[in-house]
Amino acid sequence: MEDLQDATNRINLQVRDIVLFHVGSSFRGLIVQGSAVKGGVIPGSSDIDYVLYVDDAGLNECGTLPSAVCIRLHHALSDIEVRPFRYIQFSVSSPKTNAYLPPIPGSYKLLAGELLEPEATGDQILQDAVASLEKLQPEAAFNPHLLLDHGEDRIERCARLMCTIVWPVVFQLLTVIHRDGIRIWNLNKHEAVSLLASEPEAGDAAKAFLSSVQSYYPQENSPAKALRVIEDGIALLSAAKRCWVAQANAADRFSGRCC
């Protein structure tokens, strides 16, 4: 049986070769990031996350790759066996369209070409975390009306969506608590949950969410377990927001005493 590292290496090489063949002269670089690099893959839940860098000339007037290129890419990518990952996910950036935090040192691997910009600094990671937590509205982060759809893979999509919403918040919260974003974003999910245990409410909520995720995946055969993932995700978002507000208020009080 293929082990995780062998599977990751195989997928990376296949994706790299496909991208280099189909993207053409506008190609700038390709990275893989997240759990495929730093570990902590949850089989059936974790995706394998790529960022494709291209020249501005490679995008159309809408800021996307031409549909013909995307069709050819998908046709080739569909031949890849993605297990133990859930799916391959791509982001595409050019110098004009890039709206993402730069790659975080240690949490990505350059597969071909070069980065679009220098790696993220600790200050950039902290500023991004503060801005994201400031904007976080737990009740609006996940649309509960999605749960009114039933059939096909609707509940599975909802559970997966909740995972994509919750995990970045965990790392953002740890970043503002510890002020060491590069170290924090190099933790895997299990390590991050363990570290958050020092914050009682948010830590307990994160532990419950991870437990629900591990119970649901990879089988995905229980709507009740999927709903538990969603319930625990909402609880964690709310706890994280309260923790952030407490952290911000404490910083304000400290700043006031120093003035």
Q: What's the pTM?
A: 0.90
- What value does the mean pLDDT take over residues 56-72? 94
* pLDDT at residue 252 greater than cutoff 70: no
Please give the pLDDT value at position 259.
41
Beta-strand (E) ranges in the chain?
Answer: 27-33, 48-54, 88-93, 108-113
| pLDDT over 70 (residue 182) | yes
Mean pLDDT confidence for 128-151? 94
pLDDT tens, position by position, 3-28:
889 999 999 999 999 999 999 999 99
pLDDT tens-digit map of 68-119 = 999 999 999 999 999 889 899 999 999 999 888 999 999 999 999 999 999 9
The confidence band for 256, taking pLDDT boundaries of 50, 70 and 90, is low
Nearest to 78 by CA among 15, 4, 160, 167: 15
